[in-house]
Chains A and B, each alone.
Chain A
């Protein structure tokens, strides 16, 4: 899995955290994440009969990237963008999202963090790097 970007998006589709693991074109990733939000909205509307499934799977394959989405019950969206170079197992992505979600939960538990605010936690940043970097290599 070659993860190039991870993002956390709030309830009103406001970006809370975006981090790219590739030096060029961070604006491009902003754009990709933003457009994938539409797909997220579509998918969640369709299944509004109340599913417990948080993992949304592959949202939209664009150019050379694959975008995966995950939505929590509090309408926080976690987006992962990766390079389309090799086969990726769904189970791997699911477990990545699970850890991602856990890290997000930990940062929310900080009493100095108010909901729907951009995430400025240094620890979250470091932990995300630690989560993604071993996978990239």
Chain B
């Protein structure tokens, strides 16, 4: 589909223009955040919640950067939103492209599949942390960013490479469209 190709290209373009950071530094920093949270909270479920909260705060701010850099206009529908996230958003910030699949019948839920994930480079999850969703910060980022563009979503991990699956999968569910502000001049 040409729309997909257009977002692929846009993603590459935007990625080439943004500042980069060393990948190992990024991975090690995130790793130590997760370790510290585990030490502080001790309960893995609580760590999942905290990672999501952190991500949410990041997402609220990240969306501005994203919109400013990518110049992506308003998405026509949730389907387009999903494509933009997977091809432009993920590319710009993580240099990965996600695949959007498993739409439900009403087009209100989809799965975002990540073949690779820079956050989990070198990471091996020990048995006792089996319930940890290591990259849960990404769920929060999606939720925060989408809330700023008037979409209330629920995000959660369903599969993760650290648990033995071959790719990671985030389920995104549209809960409601928040009160739309009318574009100016639309009386």
Contact = CB atoms under 8 A, between A and B. Distances in A.
A47 interface: no
Q: Is the interface of B mostly helix, strand, loop or mixed?
A: helix
B35 A109 contact: no
Nearest to A122: B124
Given A121-B124, A122-B124, A123-B124, A109 B27 contact: yes
B125 A111 contact: no
Interface of B: 24, 27-28, 31-32, 34-35, 121-126, 129
Contacts, number: 29
B27 A112 contact: no
A106 B124 contact: no
A57 B4 CA distance: 56
A48 interface: no
A12 interface: no
Interface of A: 106-107, 109-113, 120-123
A121 B123 CA distance: 10
Nearest to B121: A109
A64 to B, nearest CB: 36
Given A109-B24, A109-B27, A112-B35, 14 more contacts: A106-B122, A109-B121, A109-B122, A110-B122, A110-B124, A111-B28, A111-B31, A111-B32, A111-B34, A112-B124, A112-B129, A120-B126, A121-B124, A123-B124
B22 to A, nearest CB: 13
B122 to A, nearest CB: 4
Contacts of B129: 112
A113 B129 CA distance: 13
B148 to A, nearest CB: 30
B117 to A, nearest CB: 14
A112 B30 CA distance: 12
A113 B126 CA distance: 9
Contacts of A120: 126
Interface centre among B34, B35, B124 (most CB of A within 10 A): B124
A113 B28 CA distance: 12
